[in-house]
Amino acid sequence: MKSYLAAAVQMNSQPDLGKNLAQAEEAIQLAVNRGADLVCLPENFSFLGDEAAKAQLAAEIAQESEQFLKMAAQRYQVTLLGGGYPVPVAEDGRKFWNTALLVNPEGEEVARYQKIHLFDVNLPDGNTYCESATIAPGQVLPPVCCSERLGCLGLSICYDVRFPELYRYLARQGAQIFLVPAAFTAYTGKDHWQVLLQARAIENTCYVIAPAQTGKHNPMRQSHGHAVVVDPWGVVLADAGEGVGVAIAEIDPARLEQVRRQMPSLQHCAVDRLLTGATAA
């Protein structure tokens, strides 16, 4: 891996597929014009609104989203992450998988991941979220995709960031960069978004690229924003703030090597050894 620029896109997606894809392409073009080789779109980049409406349109959204990602990656000659869109569950027309798709500059699918942790919470601000009402949880751990150009990318989606064991698993599989596309709520984001991302970076000595949704999507739903790129020491290298835009920063293998040499916590972790010993005993 050589040094390259990565972009975390920040969008304000609405329940309008065509407008969202146009907004996404504008952001991709902006990122590529600024030199990005890896561009990451947030969760729900192609549709964000009422979950029941999204479920009804899931098949159309899935088809249009995948076609768009492959077209845009090839057109702009960039590796592109579509951070999350609905794909109908074949055996259950009522539900869909929240799917992230990674596409290479040839327009070919590199990997896909179906979100395994679903956001079912009652927040103190009065809002209730129940993803499991329309989303089926993925049954496979996320992949780590390695290339000579971009290094090893570990996939995840939004609520996953609250489960550190998932990121330790990705690090054990060789991940050097975590991709965390999200639509974090404004209420939780103000307290938890940045600190969680920094924690995942620090404890695994990995870069984190976290594209995000921002602003209001309907009268009840508002996202936090602050798409960021975080380095392996936990330093925020770029922050998109609260408006629509792009956070771009350098992914530097020398910096990754330096941090891992200075803080070799992945090598020092005794949990696996002790668990293996306990099992053997």
The residues that bridge with 51 in the sheet, in sequence order, are: none
User: Could you give the C-alpha distances from 88 to 46, 58, 94, 95, 199, in angstroms and in order?
Assistant: 15, 6, 8, 6, 33
Cα radius of gyration rounded to whole Å, the chain: 18
- Do the beta carbons of residue 117 and residue 160 sit within 8 Å? yes
Known catalytic membership, residue 70: no
SS3 for 75-96, per residue?
Answer: HHCCEEEEEEEEEEECCEEEEE
Catalytic residue chosen out of the listed positions 40, 43, 64, 206? 43
Q: Could you give the residue ranges of the DSSP H alpha helices within the chain?
A: 17-33, 51-56, 58-76, 164-172, 186-204, 253-262, 265-268, 271-280
Catalytic residue chosen out of the listed positions 66, 70, 115, 131? 115
Catalytic residue chosen out of the listed positions 40, 145, 158, 206? 158
Known catalytic membership, residue 203: no
Known catalytic membership, residue 19: no
Active-site amino acid positions: 43, 115, 158
